[in-house]
C-alpha cells in the first residue's frame, strides 16, 4: 500500500534549539510531570467522566455540528 503524496513520515522537534531560543529548559522532569498529570486527572474526575460519557460529544455536536468538514 502506498502512502499519500506529501505525507511526512517523521516529525521532530529540536528541543535543544527551542530551549536555547527561549533561554530556559523544562522545570519539571518526566517523572514529576507524569505524577502531576495523573494527580490532575484524579482530582478532576468530573471533567473526564463528562468527556468519556458522550456528554462532551453532544455539546460539540450542538455547538459545532453546523460546520461541515471538507
pLDDT tens by residue, 13-25 = 888 888 888 887 7
Q: What DSSP string describes 3-27?
A: PPTT--S-----HHHHHHHHT---S
Map out the domains of the chain as residue ranges: 15-64
Q: Give me the pLDDT at residue 13, please.
A: 80
**Structure pTM?**
0.51
- Asked whether residue 47 carries a pLDDT value surpassing 80, the answer given is yes
* Long-range interactions of 56-60: CB distance < 8 A, separation 24+: none
Q: What percent of the chain has pLDDT over 70?
A: 89
Higher-pLDDT residue of 24, 32 = 32
Contact 9, 3 (CB under 8 A): yes
Q: Give me the pLDDT at residue 69, please.
A: 63
Amino acid at each position: 500500500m502506498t502512502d499519500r503524496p506529501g505525507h511526512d513520515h517523521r516529525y521532530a522537534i529540536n528541543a535543544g534549539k527551542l530551549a536555547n531560543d527561549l533561554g530556559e529548559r523544562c522545570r519539571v522532569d518526566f517523572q514529576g510531570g507524569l505524577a502531576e498529570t495523573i494527580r490532575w486527572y484524579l482530582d478532576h474526575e468530573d471533567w473526564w467522566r463528562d468527556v468519556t460519557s458522550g456528554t462532551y460529544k453532544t455539546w460539540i455536536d450542538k455547538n459545532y455540528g453546523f460546520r461541515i468538514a471538507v
